[in-house]
Amino acid sequence: MVGVKQIALTLSLLALSPSAGRARPSATDRADSSVESLFAQSAGEALNRGFPGPDISFLLLDAHTGRVLASRWDRPDTPIPMGSLVKPFTALAYGEEHDFRYPSHTCRGTATGCWLPRGHGDVGLTAAIAYSCNSYFRMLTGNLTAGDVSTTANRFGIESPRRDAAGLQLAGLGTRWRTSPLRMARAYLELVRWRQHPAVTQILEGMAQSAEHGTGAEVHRALPAPDVLVKTGTAACAHSRRGPGDGFAMTLMPADDPQILLLVRVHGVPGAQAAKTAGRMLRRIEN
């Protein structure tokens, strides 16, 4: 298989190729296309062979162009609940209303409505992204409306929440905000392009910390030299064969200048478990 560092170099060269944008394909264009096609075929074969079965869905994208390199996802254009993957965009919607100033918050676990019974303690936006803290986002969405969030959603090309969505539903709880997996993947690519924005800088740092010691830490454990951004989510099951929920892991690699994006969904598990699968898949591509 092609190593991740080589993937990054290959896709960077393709993006910077002086032949890009020419009306008629040249020999260089055809060579570039051939290299990308070979990588896409190799990666797709590795993932399909190493992770068979209907419980795992994935999309692998070129982070510079948004092109799908490999996939196994039934109807990726169909909106589904994607849980906490929407939280970065919820945070930006809050920022629009508050001059991008984010409060600190004390998460007391069950007492303040978080998924972690013991709580996360004192958290700001970065830690709330890293640990996907529901208590923090419950506070953040207290006065947000679906209209507030829709403005940000439209800016990033994802579907808006239902008009009756409120509170933590605006941060992915329940089924009132459904987005298509392909649009969500490309929204994260757009998010990276905004990385100099102060709020986005905090969000991406939260994703880096998620990979190191947050809900996406299983990605860090799976890779020999981890350099990745991760956001996890757990959502209501969208399969015909119902399960307790679906776990999602959005991963971008390498962290400082992503070349590939891998979105993974695993049926019947939480997002942290989906991160483990995503890490193993990235390692499989690298090997």
**Average pLDDT over the chain, rounded to an integer:** 88
Question: Region 164-177: what's the mean pLDDT?
Answer: 95
Question: Region 173-187: what's the mean pLDDT?
Answer: 97
Report pLDDT for 17: 41
Report pLDDT for 269: 95
pTM above 0.85, yes or no: yes
Confidence of residue 41 (pLDDT cuts 50, 70, 90): confident
The answer to whether 236 and 180 are in contact (CB under 8 A) is no
Confidence of residue 225 (pLDDT cuts 50, 70, 90): low
Q: What CATH code is assigned to 1-78+211-287?
A: 3.30.450
Alpha helical stretches, state H, the chain = 4-16, 27-50, 87-97, 125-130, 134-140, 146-155, 181-193, 198-213, 217-222, 271-286
Q: How many CB atoms lie within 10 A of CB 137?
A: 29
User: What are the residue boundaries of the structural domains of the chain, listed by start?
Assistant: 1-78+211-287, 79-179
The answer to whether 213 and 130 are in contact (CB under 8 A) is yes
Question: How far from the centroid of its chain's Cα atoms is residue 185's Cα?
Answer: 6
The answer to whether 233 and 271 are in contact (CB under 8 A) is yes
Question: Region 128-152: what's the mean pLDDT?
Answer: 96
- The DSSP secondary-structure symbol of 165 reads -
Minimum mean pLDDT among 25-39, 196-210, 265-279: which range? 25-39
Report pLDDT for 10: 44
